[in-house]
Amino acid sequence: MSDPSSSVTDPAHLALLDGIREGKRVALARAISVIENERPGFQALLHDLLTRGRSGGARLGITGPPGAGKSSLVSEIARRWREGEEGVGIVAVDPTSPYSGGALLGDRIRMNDLALDEGIFIRSMASRGSLGGLATTTKEVLDVMDAFGFPRLLVETVGVGQTELEITGAADTVVVVLVPESGDGIQAMKAGLMEIADIFVVNKSDRPGADRLVKEVRSALHYRTGRTGRTPAHHGVDHSRVGGGAEETEEQEEDTGWVPPVVQTMAQTGDGVDELLEAVAKHRQWLDETGELERRRRRRTLERIRDVLDRELKRRVRRELSTDDDLQDELDRIDAGDATAYSVAASILGRIALDPETAPLPGIDR
């Protein structure tokens, strides 16, 4: 059954690959764990899965402050996509406690409607100390779901801070969810969220302050997009300006390309979710037509190469210095004035780089 040309040698991993080929969800789930835990051989497993082909599925990222309704929105979006018979893979990230290392992953509570749908696969991930809103391997987990054959992928960030910018490296389209309670529109500008949003959602839009927030986000967008010196329209960013007719597209090209629309939703009832999906589709069309999708994906791949290298080097340094005892002699030399932290680091780097046994990734041809 197994492909003799595969780079994977671990028999357990070969069994997982067979299982994934047969569409077994247990195999998918366990392959995800191998990758999430960066168990030995995980690089070869990923390499094999990615060379087998990808669906190139559309990746939608949802981010925003705690309690904004991200999970409910994810659930509503997935349900609508399923009406079109398309399989949906979902990754939801929640924070790891820095004190205990444990995590309470509760995003599934809002996704119970999807619990029995065979076309949906939900995986919760703990952030495990990673900053930036995702777990270290969330992007890889999305790749595995893609390779399994889900044409649509949804990823939801931790939702605790204002620096959840990793999502731009994981998704083609980023939706930033705000609620009237999450403060005024200016807060969104401070947070750096203005820069990453392809689409804004004002959720819980039946609550007081929703209309004001919509106006504020729109005018904040004007400040950003006003750099061409054009006078903004009187009534804020009109939804119809986005991906409209031919002349408009031309006008946008010399303008800013894409003006993030602001969509009002009530995730609890599903109101506005169809409009949100229309905006997502328009953004996708814009990505395709302008070549921006290709550019974004190449940029992501570039980041991935750097990530893989960063992590691999860290892993090797950790292995080289698995205990503090390894450094006692060097500490003595530093104390005696014969070395510095920099000269010690330089010699360790030399050792790691020169070791021919550990230089390549296990099981992967260069």
Partner 1 sequence: MSEGERKIRVLVAKPGLDGHDRGAKVIASSFRDAGFEVIYTGLHQTPEMIVNAAIQEDVDVVAMSVLSGAHMTLFPRVRRLLDEAGADDILLTGGGIIPEDDVRALGEQGVGRLFGPGTPTGEAIAYVREWHREKTGAANAG
Member of 212, 224, 319, 351 binding partner 1 (CB under 8 A): 319
d(CA 327, CA 146): 43
Nearer to partner 1, 126 or 178 (CB): 126
Choose one: 66-74, 146-154, 312-320, 324-332; the region binding partner 1 (CB under 8 A): 312-320
* Residues 16 to 45 in contact with partner 1, rule: CB under 8 A: 24-26, 29-30, 32-33, 37-40
Tokens of 40: 């030995």
Nearer to partner 1, 104 or 313 (CB): 104
| C-beta of residue 361 within 8 angstroms of C-beta of residue 38 | no
State the sign of the Cα–Cα–Cα–Cα dihedral 170, 174, 175, 176: positive
Nearer to partner 1, 1 or 336 (CB): 1
Beta bridge partners, 174, equal 61
| C-beta of residue 180 within 8 angstroms of C-beta of residue 213 | yes
Nearer to partner 1, 256 or 268 (CB): 268
State the minimum distance, in angstroms, from the CB of residue 104 to partner 1.
5
Nearer to partner 1, 147 or 276 (CB): 147
Nearer to partner 1, 121 or 200 (CB): 121
**How far apart, in Å, are the Cα atoms of 135 and each of 37, 142, 205, 249, 318?**
11, 12, 30, 37, 20
**How far apart, in Å, are the Cα atoms of 189 and each of 60, 147, 184, 185, 333?**
22, 36, 9, 7, 50
124 binds partner 1 per the rule CB under 8 A: yes
| C-beta of residue 251 within 8 angstroms of C-beta of residue 244 | no
* Residues 233 to 272 in contact with partner 1, rule: CB under 8 A: none
State the minimum distance, in angstroms, from the CB of residue 279 to partner 1.
29
State the minimum distance, in angstroms, from the CB of residue 302 to partner 1.
26
d(CA 311, CA 316): 9
Per-residue contact flags (x/-) with partner 1 for residues 84 to 123, judged by CB under 8 A: ------------xx--xxxxxxx-xx--x--xx----xxx
Interstrand relation of 88-94 and 120-126 (parallel, antiparallel or unpaired): parallel
Cα-atom radius of gyration of the chain, to the nearest Å?
A: 23
226 binds partner 1 per the rule CB under 8 A: no
Task: List residues binding partner 1 (CB under 8 A).
Answer: 24-26, 29-30, 32-33, 37-40, 96-97, 100-106, 108-109, 112, 115-116, 121-124, 126, 128-129, 315, 318-319
